[in-house]
C-alpha cells in the first residue's frame, strides 16, 4: 500500500486547493433545479453531490475516472481499485505492492465464523455477509484512531487502511459463507500467492481446470466495482460515512441497500426468467418462438427482466463485456444461448411495444447465466459477489470524501402541505 498511499498523499493537496478555488469562484452557481415530480420520484436526475470515481453516461454507460469501461475490461480488480482511487492505472510494481497488501490481510477472524454458524440454516447469504462485515467493526483502525484524537487531515489514511483490510477479507468471507450455507464442505484457506479473484475461485471450491472461471471472476469483480455515487448502495454508504462512521458500518449500510430486488438482487431474478424460458421450450427456442413468448409476457402486464435501466439509454457496457466473454468461452449451452438470443429479440420487441424508455439490456441480463454455467448455481448467493466487487467503489469514495473534508449529508425535506402552498 505504500505506493498507493504515496500517490494519494501527492494528489490530495492538489485537489483540495482546486476545490477551494472552485468554491471561491463558482460556489454560488446553480447546477440543478428540482421539480415537484423529482421530489416525489426518488430524486431521479437531481445533481446534488460530487463523485469523481466514476460516472454513468446515458449514451456510453460506465466511465471509470474518464476511461470508458470497455477499454479496460482486461485489467485486474486490484488495478481497477488503484484506478478508482488515483485516476490512473498502476504500473507493475504498484500492482504487486497492492496485491501484497491484500495478501497480508486475508484471514477472517474465527469469531466471525463462530457467529455465522449460530445463524439459522436458511439465512440469506447477504444477511450472513453483512453480519460478518459488521462483526469485524471492532477491528476498525479508523475507530481506534478517532477515539485517540487523530487530526482530520489523517482521516482518509485510516479509512484507506480499513478499506484495504476489509477488501482483502471479502473473497474469503464470501467463499466461506457459500460453502457453509450450501453445505459444500469445510472452508478452504486463502492462498497468499493468488490474486484477489483467483483466491475467491480457490476458496469457493468449484472446478476450474482450464482457468476460465478465474477469468470470469476477474471480469465480474472488475465490472461491478463502481457505478457513480447516486445508486442506492453508493449513496447509502456515502450518507452513513459522512457521519464519520467507519467503513465497516458504512459498507454494511450500502450492502443492505444492494440486497434489495430493485438493485443488486436483480441478477438472480434475470436468471430465473432465463431458466423459465428454457423450461418452457425444453431447451433453446427459435428466434420466432422467443419473440412470441416475450410479446405474450408483455401483453399480460409483465416485464422482461434484465432490460431497461434507470440511467442508461444504450446497451450496458458491462452486459456487452459479459456477452463477449460468453461468446468466446461458452459453446452449446442452452442457458447462455437464451441470453444471447434475448439480446437479438428483446430490444426490437420493446421498441415496437413502445412503453420502455430504454429497450437495452443491463448487466443483470447476462451475469447470472455465466455464473450458472461455471457451477455457481445458488441464485441467492449472486448478490454477495456483487457486494464483494462494489465495496471497492464505496471505499474509494469514502477515502476521497474524508480527504476533502466533505461534511455530513443532510438534505432538506419538505412536506406535501409546503408544496401545495409554495409551488
Q: Report the alpha-carbon distance of residue 13 to residue 275 in Å, rounded.
A: 52
Whether 214 sits among the annotated catalytic residues: the reply is no
Query: Is residue 156 within 8 Å of residue 399, measured between CB atoms?
Result: yes
Separation between Cα atoms, residue 204 and residue 193, nearest integer Å: 16
Query: Are the beta carbons of 203 and 187 closer than 8 angstroms?
Result: yes
Q: How far apart are the first and last CA of the chain?
A: 53
**Closest-CA residue to 64 (of 88, 91, 96):** 88
Marked catalytic residue, from 195, 246, 334, 364: 364
68 phi/psi in degrees, rounded to 5: -55, 140
Q: How far is CA 155 from CA 146, 166, 246, 403, in A?
A: 8, 17, 10, 7
309 belongs to the catalytic site: yes
Cα separation of 180 and 121, whole Å?
A: 9
Q: With contact defined as beta carbons under 8 Å apart, do 253 and 236 qualify?
A: yes
Phi, psi of 228 (to 5 degrees): 55, -165
Q: Half-sphere exposure of 119 toward its Cβ, with a 13 Å CA cutoff?
A: 19
Spot the catalytic one: 195, 214, 263, 334.
Answer: 263
Q: Which residue has the cell 497468499?
A: 192
CB neighbours of 170 closer than 8 A, spacing ≥ 6? Answer: 133, 387, 388, 391
Q: Is 124 noted as a catalytic residue in this protein?
A: no
Find cell 477515502 and name the residue: 399
Cβ pair 305, 270 in contact under 8 A: yes
Please tell me the distance from the alpha carbon of residue 191 to that of residue 200, in angstroms, as a whole number: 10
Question: Would you list the DSSP string of 72-110?
Answer: STTS-HHHHHHHHHHSS---HHHHHHHHHHHHTT-PPPH
SS3 of residue 221 by DSSP: helix
- Which one is catalytic: 208, 226, 309, 316? 309
Separation between Cα atoms, residue 125 and residue 180, nearest integer Å: 10
> Residue 114 and residue 238: Cα distance in Å, rounded?
30
The catalytic residues are: 263, 309, 364
Amino acid at each position: 500500500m505504500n505506493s498507493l498511499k504515496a500517490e494519494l498523499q501527492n494528489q490530495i493537496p492538489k485537489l483540495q486547493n482546486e476545490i477551494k478555488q472552485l468554491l471561491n469562484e463558482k460556489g454560488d452557481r446553480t447546477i440543478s433545479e428540482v421539480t415537484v415530480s423529482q421530489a416525489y420520484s426518488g430524486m431521479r436526475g437531481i445533481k446534488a453531490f460530487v463523485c469523481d470515481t466514476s460516472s454513468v453516461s446515458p449514451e456510453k454507460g460506465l466511465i471509470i475516472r474518464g476511461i470508458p469501461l470497455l477499454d479496460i475490461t482486461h485489467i485486474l480488480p486490484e488495478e481497477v481499485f488503484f484506478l478508482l482511487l488515483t485516476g490512473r492505472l498502476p504500473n507493475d510494481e504498484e500492482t504487486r505492492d497492492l496485491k501484497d497488501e491484500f495478501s497480508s490481510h486475508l484471514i477472517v477472524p474465527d469469531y466471525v465464523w463462530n457467529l455465522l454458524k449460530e445463524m439459522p440454516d436458511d439465512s440469506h447469504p447477504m444477511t450472513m455477509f453483512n453480519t460478518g462485515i459488521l462483526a469485524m467493526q471492532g477491528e476498525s483502525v479508523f475507530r481506534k484512531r478517532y477515539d485517540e484524537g487523530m487530526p482530520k487531515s489523517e482521516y482518509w489514511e485510516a479509512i484507506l487502511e480499513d478499506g484495504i483490510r476489509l477488501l482483502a477479507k471479502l473473497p474469503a468471507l464470501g467463499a466461506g459463507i457459500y460453502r457453509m450455507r450450501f453445505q459444500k464442505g469445510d472452508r478452504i484457506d486463502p492462498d497468499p500467492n493468488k490474486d484477489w479473484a483467483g483466491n475467491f475461485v480457490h476458496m469457493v471450491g468449484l472446478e476450474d481446470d482450464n482457468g476460465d472461471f478465474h477469468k470470469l471472476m476477474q471480469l465480474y469483480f472488475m465490472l461491478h466495482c463502481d457505478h457513480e455515487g447516486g445508486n442506492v448502495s453508493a449513496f447509502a454508504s456515502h450518507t452513513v460515512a459522512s457521519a464519520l462512521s467507519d467503513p465497516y458500518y458504512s459498507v454494511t449500510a450500502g450492502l443492505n441497500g444492494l440486497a434489495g430486488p430493485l438493485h443488486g438482487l436483480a441478477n438472480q431474478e434475470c436468471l430465473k426468467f432465463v431458466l423459465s424460458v428454457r423450461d418452457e421450450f425444453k431447451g433453446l427456442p427459435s428466434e420466432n418462438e422467443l419473440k412470441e413468448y416475450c410479446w405474450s409476457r408483455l401483453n399480460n402486464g409483465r416485464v422482461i427482466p434484465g432490460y431497461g435501466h434507470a440511467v442508461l439509454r444504450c446497451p450496458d457496457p458491462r452486459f456487452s463485456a459479459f456477452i463477449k466473454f460468453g461468446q468466446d468461452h461458452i459453446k452449446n449451452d442452452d442457458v447462455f444461448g437464451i441470453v444471447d438470443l434475448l439480446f437479438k429479440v428483446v430490444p426490437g420487441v420493446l421498441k415496437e411495444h413502445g412503453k420502455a424508455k430504454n429497450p437495452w439490456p443491463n448487466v443483470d441480463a447476462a451475469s447470472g447465466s455465466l455464473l450458472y454455467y461455471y457451477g455457481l448455481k445458488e441464485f441467492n448467493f449472486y448478490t454477495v459477489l456483487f457486494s464483494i466487487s462494489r465495496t471497492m467503489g464505496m471505499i474509494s469514495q469514502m477515502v476521497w470524501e474524508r480527504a476533502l473534508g466533505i461534511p455530513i449529508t443532510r438534505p432538506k425535506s419538505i412536506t406535501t402541505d409546503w408544496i401545495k402552498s409554495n409551488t
